[in-house]
Chain A
Amino acid sequence: MTSQTASASLIGGVGVNRLAAHGVSLEVPAGWEAELSTQQDPAALDPDLQPGAKSQLVVVHAANFSLPTERGDYGRGAVEAMDANSIFVALIEFPAASVDRRLFAAAGFPTRLRPADFATDQVQRSLPGQAGVQRFFHVGTGVKRRPFCLYAVLGAYSKRAMLVAELNRLLSSFSFY
């Protein structure tokens, strides 16, 4: 569960790399970059944890532009660097105790978003032209259920049809183990 691997492979085409860590795996296509890490401050999401406690709550960031080194979980610091063709994706895991909340009732990772799902008022940080979407769900079954939030930002709402198709190609490569 805590192991992390980063490997280069030719799975899915030239230049595709698979990253896997903390029970999440994805294929990163050419021109994209990604990071899999854990929550910096898990106590902010889980009141049962002591401040400064370590957790294995995973945070995945992926983008088709250069990811800055300093970013918030929901892309603060990265979305400001986006242009019209940019896509930013964040997958944030919540404490397992949250999985029974109605917010996370949806089962399965959303791999097919629609252009109509995106709106300019669904972004954490409102920037001109950008549009976003947020989906809460859980993966796994029984006691192994894990609650997540998927958050995606497009550089330009006007290009959502083209950008969502590219985004869905990335989302379809996610798997949970």
Chain B
Amino acid sequence: MTLLVVLLAIAVGVLTLLVFGLLRTHAEILRALDRAGISLDDSSDSASSPVLAPQSRVSASEQPQTSQAHDLVGTVPAGGAAKVAVIGVNHFTLLAFLSPGCRTCKRFWEAFAVPDLELPGGNTRLVIVGQDPAHDSEAALAQLVPPGVKAVLSSAAWQNYDVPGSPYFVLVDGVSNRVVGAGSAMSWQQLRDLLNQALDDAGLASTSSQPPSDARQSGRSQSGRSRSRGRNARADQALQSAGVGPGHSSLYNALSVDQDQQ
């Protein structure tokens, strides 16, 4: 009888240890998923969900290693080898690092499928970046990519941009070849706000509203190459806010002096 009680006690102890071990493993998995930005609660309200702040909002000079942008080299889903130009171009590029199996990503697949989606920056091209076929299902990703949206499979890009998990987003200024902002969000609205904030911080915010984009024609990029026009508009607005409008005398004083000197 005593032996039976002792054996039962040992069995209960072992089972208790086993349960605690399982609970601990479960908690570690949940924490890892959380770090990767993957929510297990589909019904959670995006407004109350935690959002990872942008990692580098502005400046390149502050984080020279991570803020240097890179072109994308990989393969097109159900296609061939491809290079997508991100640097040395006169527009912004929003890189969306998404995975077919990521539940939070579903919101962004749906958001990016909306025609005439307004992208931050006024002259921004959307490129979806998946992992190499060895890591992600190429067929599943090809089915999810909305028509007209550029997509490339490149695990090298995930490494180059230090992507911790999906969904993750990087906004690149193709003129300065720098990352303007990077981070994750739980919804398109939150991401748009974060990116607009990053553009504001970098002094790159566009004052003009973005014209509708033609995804079929340009892969969600603005075809007008209007960076200089955007900068002119920002300069005009700054001058007007300072009380300097067209024909203002201060605009001609310097010219007069120069002419006098000649």
Contact = CB atoms under 8 A, between A and B. Distances in A.
A19 interface: yes
B150 to A, nearest CB: 5
B83 A34 contact: yes
A69 interface: yes
Contact of B71 (A5, A15, A67, A81): A15
Contacts, number: 92
B251 interface: no
A87 B60 CA distance: 31
B81 A19 contact: yes
Interface stretch (A25-33, A136-144, A146-154): A25-33
B46 interface: no
A31 B148 contact: no
A4 B81 contact: yes
Contact of A35 (B76, B89, B125, B221): B76
A5 B80 CA distance: 9
A70 B216 contact: yes
- Chain A interface size band reads 20 to 34
Interface residues of B, number: 32
Given A80-B217, A81-B223, A30 B75 contact: no
B88 interface: yes
A67 B148 CA distance: 11
Nearest to B127: A66
Given A21-B81, A36-B81, A77-B217, A70 B73 contact: no
A21 B83 CA distance: 12
Contacts of A130: none
A168 B149 CA distance: 30
B149 A34 contact: no
Contacts of A21: 80-81
Contacts of B10: none
Contacts of B81: 4-6, 19-21, 35-36
A122 interface: no
A8 B82 contact: no
Contacts of A83: 225
Interface of A: 4-8, 15, 17, 19-22, 28, 30-38, 66-70, 77, 80-81, 83
12 contacts: A6-B154, A8-B73, A15-B87, A21-B81, A32-B83, A33-B71, A35-B79, A36-B82, A66-B89, A69-B151, A70-B147, A77-B216
